[in-house]
Amino acid sequence: MINLYPTQIESISLHRVGNKNKSEGVFLSEEPFTLNDETNGLLKEYFFKPFREKEENYFKLTNEIDVTFNDIHKIVSGIFDDPSTLHLNSKKIATHLFEQSNHPHIKSGEVYVAHLTNVMLDNTKVDAIGIFKSELKHDFLQLEEKGNNLDIIVQQGINVNKLDKGCLIFNVEKEEGYKVLSIDSNRYDAKYWLNNFLGVDALADENFYTKNYLKFCQNFAKDVVLPAEDKQQEVLFMNRAVNHFAKNDAFEESSFLNEVIENPELIPEFKHYKVEKGPKYSIEDVSNFDIANKAVSDARKKIKNVINLDTNIQIKMDFINPESAEKFVEKGWDEERQMYYYLVYFNKEEKS
């Protein structure tokens, strides 16, 4: 888990990278940028806010031969070894980005390379390299006095509330390719940023396995539990699954299956579904891993515990304890109406 509130920008360099395919060129600043209190505060919010709001999906720098052949790995290793080389190495980063900027869809923009300290990663203080890019320019109005009137001047600039692209490379696990976080607000050219420029793969850590296993369970519930049983059981299966993850520090698959799947006939279905669909989530050979609490919390927010009925009625199954559903909600069949029904028990109506 990351905490960027105490993080400091020790030094930063700014460059401009064009689209090589359009012969736009690259502009490399001669000197690093000098921060003052105003720009320091604005840039910290501009750079860090997207990472505070985004789900933490970690990557690692890779190369098909060896990670030491990854261009960004070589450059940031030089900065970590000697932070005074940041500006020189930032030029190499900007040039490397320019070399990858050869698709017509890639937009020119400013590149910021920063050496960061006091980053709290998993409760440990580390330093990091931040690489950020601003692409989209926005119109804004500047008002100025002209004689006895106010005049409007339309100018273009960067919206400091929306960073277009960025990554944080943490000075940990160097031999494995460092730990990397990336954001991309535009997403129309994600391959260029992640694959061509950074050269990263998803980092298979506890966050990765927790998130992917729960996504896999969600699809199993939709593809197998729902057709075999009903919407209520689909919702309750996912409720039990998330609660199992929430109350355990480590995942063990046999224990999970015995606790979460109430219908024994669905256990072989689950194992077959894992063989078939597991590779999509990179969990085909995974049955034990440490559980990442934040990934569980993020998954819980995304799961829709709603039963939509064709009579324009919705039932929200918002249960912390899955057993409550069986206690307070009953499903049945009305012979006279030839319709299904849900019977819901309650003590009083809550005020909205």
- Asked which of 203, 218, 236 is the last residue of a domain, the reply is 203
- Asked which of 203, 218, 234 is the last residue of a domain, the reply is 203
Whole-structure pTM value: 0.77
Q: What is the extent of the structural domain holding 59? A: 2-134+162-203
Which stretches of 54-174 are DSSP H helices? 71-81, 86-100
Say what the pLDDT of residue 328 is. Answer: 79
- Asked which of 184, 203, 222 is the last residue of a domain, the reply is 203
Contacts for 237 with CB less than 8 Å, ≥ 6 apart: 217, 221, 225, 260, 261
Q: Are residues 188 and 60 in the same domain?
A: yes
Q: Are residues 219 and 267 in the same domain?
A: yes
Q: Are residues 269 and 176 in the same domain?
A: no
Integer CA distances (angstroms), 311 to 295, 308, 325, 335, 341, in order: 35, 9, 21, 17, 11
CA proximity to 11, closest of 50, 53, 40: 40
**For each of the chain's 352 residues, which pLDDT tens digit applies?**
899 999 999 999 999 999 988 889 999 999 999 999 999 999 999 999 999 888 788 999 999 999 999 999 999 999 999 999 999 999 999 999 999 998 888 889 999 999 999 999 988 999 999 999 999 888 888 898 988 899 999 988 888 888 999 999 999 999 999 999 999 987 666 688 999 999 999 988 898 999 999 999 999 999 999 898 888 888 889 888 998 999 999 999 999 999 999 889 999 999 999 999 999 999 999 999 999 988 888 888 777 777 788 888 887 776 556 566 667 777 788 888 888 888 888 888 877 6
Structural domains in the chain (count): 2
Task: Tell me the C-alpha distance between 181 and 170, whole Å.
Answer: 8
**Cross-strand pairs, 53:** none
Neighbouring CB atoms inside 10 A of 4's CB total 19
SS3 helix, strand, coil % of the chain, rounded to 5?
40, 30, 30
Q: Are residues 269 and 330 in the same domain?
A: yes
Q: Strand 124-134 vs strand 138-146: parallel, antiparallel, or unpaired?
A: unpaired
Say what the pLDDT of residue 331 is. Answer: 79
Q: Are residues 32 and 11 in contact, defined by beta-carbon separation less than 8 angstroms?
A: yes
Let me know if residue 152 belongs to a domain. no
Let me know if residue 22 belongs to a domain. yes
